[in-house]
Amino acid sequence: MSQYTRIEVVQTMGKIKIIPLFYHSDLKIAKQVIRACYDGGARVFEFTNRGDHAHELFSELIKWSNIELPEMIIGIGSIVDPGTASLFIQSGANFIVSPILNSEIAKVCNRRKIAWIPGCATLSEINYAEELGAEIVKIFPASQIGGPNFIKSIKAPCPWTNIMPSGGVTIEESNIKKWFTAGAYCIGIGSNLMIKNKEENLDYPTIAKTMKQCILFANNNS
């Protein structure tokens, strides 16, 4: 069962503005990345459904974070069907992110009052997602479907729309500024945030530092 209401999830996303995205099959590494992001100020984290038995890893991460990182809101991404959404909701997901727009996923989430963030690529899809109850819509892949100018164009006729770009978002202040100047509600950052050291291992202190900088950039430019 989720620990946070969908309104709390949406409000926290809008407050912190930077949503880390990550998957790793090693539970220890996943925990270290989540903790590094938490230490850097993240309070929402999207673990992506990318590998075999990801739901088992996710369940352990939820139980761990509820004790060790009590302010962290963890949800699941890369969900493409309602059955998988139900599985992760049962595992404690606080929100569901999908790369696609699927009305059956919306129904599953709405029944349990779980925040649902669908992937959209047109104004018609965004409008339909909002009819289905989405408070935030994800544009994906953001850089390929028009970048910040796409958001600006959508916000002109639909200023009430909350948009989270994902895909092609980087950690540089200039890039982050472009998205928020265009009207992004929050942004999702994946591989660009997961910095490695010279040995090609994840550099947790640098991830924490970069996370903090990205949040600062986002809140200074939004």
In the chain (222 residues long), the average pLDDT of successive 10-residue segments reads 93 98 97 98 97 95 96 98 98 97 98 97 97 96 92 97 94 96 97 94 98 96 62
**pLDDT value of position 221:** 67
Q: Which residues pair with 152 in a beta bridge?
A: none
Helix or strand holding residue 122 (H, E) = none
Q: How far is CA 141 from CA 39, 121, 150, 166, 220, in A?
A: 28, 8, 12, 6, 25
**pLDDT value of position 120:** 96
Distance CA 196, CA 202 (A): 4
The closest alpha carbon to 94, from 7, 156, 170, belongs to 7
What is the value of pTM for the model shown? 0.96
**pLDDT value of position 140:** 86
Phi, psi dihedral angles at 163 (to 5 degrees): -120, 135
Helix or strand holding residue 97 (H, E) = strand 95-97
**pLDDT value of position 141:** 87
Write down the residue that tokens 């690529």 correspond to: 121
* Residue 53 CB partners (closer than 8 Å, separation 6+): none
In the chain, the amino acid numbered 178 is K
Domains in the chain: ranges and CATH: 6-221 (3.20.20.70)
